[in-house]
Structure 1
Amino acid sequence: MRVLFLGDVIGRPGLTAVTSDVSRIREELEVDLVFANGENANNGFGLTAKQAKAILKAGVDGITGGNHIWAAKDLYNMLEQDSRLLRPLNYADHLPGSGVRIFRKDGLPPVAVINIIGRTFMPPIDCPFAAIETALDELTAEVKIILVDFHAEATGEKVAMGYFLDGKVSAMVGTHTHVQTNDARVLPGGTAYLTDLGMCGTRDSCIGMKPEIILDRYLTGLPRQLEAASGRGVLQGAVFDIDDTTGRAISMATYQQD
């Protein structure tokens, strides 16, 4: 099985790039499943139901989230009703949606996707390590292919999670920092790993946002509302191959389309 996982979709440029190009990329790369983190699609903060539907219609099989997933309240019903959407597992159970989804596609074995969020330099949240350990214990034996989106700020926390999950999941990819890292590899236990997928957003930006606003915040120390940058979007992520029988990763590589 070949999977493409795209980094955080940021603003209109990222949304346009995904909705315009995913169908073609699926054919070019001969991928079986495509996932994307969509929590920044709405001008950098949140994801509306309309945007989620557009991403799914374009050929993305599932959408993961992060700390901005609650920004657009019209998404709440869709999180409850559409099994192709995820929100971080270690938010409170009573909140809309789920952090674990099983994807079933004709001709392919079942695939579990788990979405978790980190705690370092992030708002208070339940332990992601404990949450995912419980989730893994609850999966049935038929589910051998497991993909994890760890939405976290700290590189060290992501690397630690990678080793914690090595041999327990097929792939663990990091999101949230919007900068693609150069450490794609298969860990000793057979888990494909990448610290951060990068972003689907404007290259001429500061992590997908208007550079002048972020620069002003650093120079003055004053608060300013960030805005997604305009311009042509770049797609970043990772492509990995997984053994259908064992669930172990065979290969892992970063992906980028300018």
Structure 2
Amino acid sequence: MRILFLGDVVGRVGRELVEASLPGLRARLRLDLVVVNGENASHGFGLAPAMATCLFAAGADVITLGNHAWDRKELIGHISQAPRIIRPLNFPPGTPGLGHVVVSLADGRRALVVNAMGRLFMDPLDDPFRLTDELLSRHRLGVTMQAAVVDFHAEATSEKMAFAHHLDGRVSLVIGTHTHTPTADHRILSGGTAYMSDAGMCGDYDSVIGMAKAPAIARFIRKMPGERLGPAEGAASLSGLFVQTDDRTGHARAVAPLRMGGGLSEAVPEPMVD
């Protein structure tokens, strides 16, 4: 299975670049599954239902969220009717929506997509390790599904790495989100799970993690509330990760970063020949 994960979409320029690029990427990389983190798509804070509709129309199969899941209040009533928008699995019981979805491809193959959130330097949520273990006891890689993707929305690289090693061999990919900075540690772990500490963001990198520089810098200097942060709106970059898996085992065969446009050095994956 050929899988593309795109990091946090930030603001209008991030959305527009994803919507413009994704149809071509689906064809060029012959993608079977596209997962996009959309929790910052709406002016940097949350996801509006109409924006989700546009991302799906462009070619996203699943949209994941994170700590900004409910910043756009209208998503609260919408998410229960949109099973391919998933929020962190370890939100409290009774929270609208689900933390996972099983996607059935046209050829009958199945992929599990999971969204979980870290706890180190983040909100005090339930244990993502335990809850993901419980979920995977019902969805077995290479048995009930051909691939499994986990978006681990977390601050600390140590927690992300520990989480990936804990799941190694049981999922196809553990990909970190939240820091908006692409890391250079993409690799396949010893058990066959692809990993990258952070996918980066789809947005303007001439910024402070996607936000306009001046108001963000002022907050650090003055330590006082200032004007509301808003996304930078210069040339955007597309950041993410491409993974190719073995349908028999669900394990990763190849992993490569994707970076296109904006100010980052370009990296476009080349799929393996089946």
Structure 1-normalised TM-score? 0.97
Task: Give me the whole-angstrom Cα distance separating, in 1, the residues matched to 2:251 and 2:108.
Answer: 15
Aligned-pair RMSD on alpha carbons?
A: 1.1
1:168 partner letter: R
Runs of 4+ in 1 over 3 A off after TM superposition: none
- The offset of 1:79, in angstroms, is 1.3
Task: Give me the whole-angstrom Cα distance separating, in 1, the residues matched to 2:54 and 2:168.
Answer: 34
Partner of 1:199 in structure 2? Answer: 201
Q: Unaligned 5+ residue runs, structure 1?
A: none
- The offset of 1:108, in angstroms, is 4.7
Partner of 1:21 in structure 2? Answer: 21
* Alignment length (residue pairs): 258
Task: Give me the whole-angstrom Cα distance separating, in 2, the residues matched to 1:108 and 1:257.
Answer: 31
Between 88-97 and 181-190, report the one with greater CA deviation: 88-97
Task: Give me the whole-angstrom Cα distance separating, in 1, the residues matched to 2:113 and 2:77.
Answer: 20
Please tell me whether the aligned partners of residues 114 and 151 of structure 2 are also in contact (alpha carbons under 8 angstroms): yes
Determine helix, strand or coil for the equivalent of 1:233. coil
Written as runs of structure 1 = structure 2, the 5 A alignment for 1:134-153 is 134-139=134-139, 141-153=143-155
1:114-133 Cα offsets, whole Å, 9 max, x none, are 10000011111111111111
Task: Give me the whole-angstrom Cα distance separating, in 2, the residues matched to 1:76 and 1:208.
Answer: 24
Partner of 1:170 in structure 2? Answer: 172
Partner of 1:235 in structure 2? Answer: 238
Partner of 1:156 in structure 2? Answer: 158
- The offset of 1:138, in angstroms, is 2.2
Partner of 1:247 in structure 2? Answer: 250
Partner of 1:65 in structure 2? Answer: 65
1:118 partner letter: G
Q: Unaligned 5+ residue runs, structure 2?
A: 262-274
Identity of aligned residues (%): 43
2:119 partner letter: R
Task: Give me the whole-angstrom Cα distance separating, in 2, the residues matched to 1:229 and 1:29.
Answer: 29
2:257 partner letter: T
Structure 2-normalised TM-score? 0.92
1:160-216 Cα offsets, whole Å, 9 max, x none, are 111111111111000000000000000000000000000000121111101111111
Determine helix, strand or coil for the equivalent of 1:202. coil
1:190 aligns with 2:214: no
Partner of 1:43 in structure 2? Answer: 43
Partner of 1:115 in structure 2? Answer: 115
Task: Give me the whole-angstrom Cα distance separating, in 2, the residues matched to 1:42 and 1:155.
Answer: 26
Please tell me whether the aligned partners of residues 32 and 105 of structure 2 are also in contact (alpha carbons under 8 angstroms): no
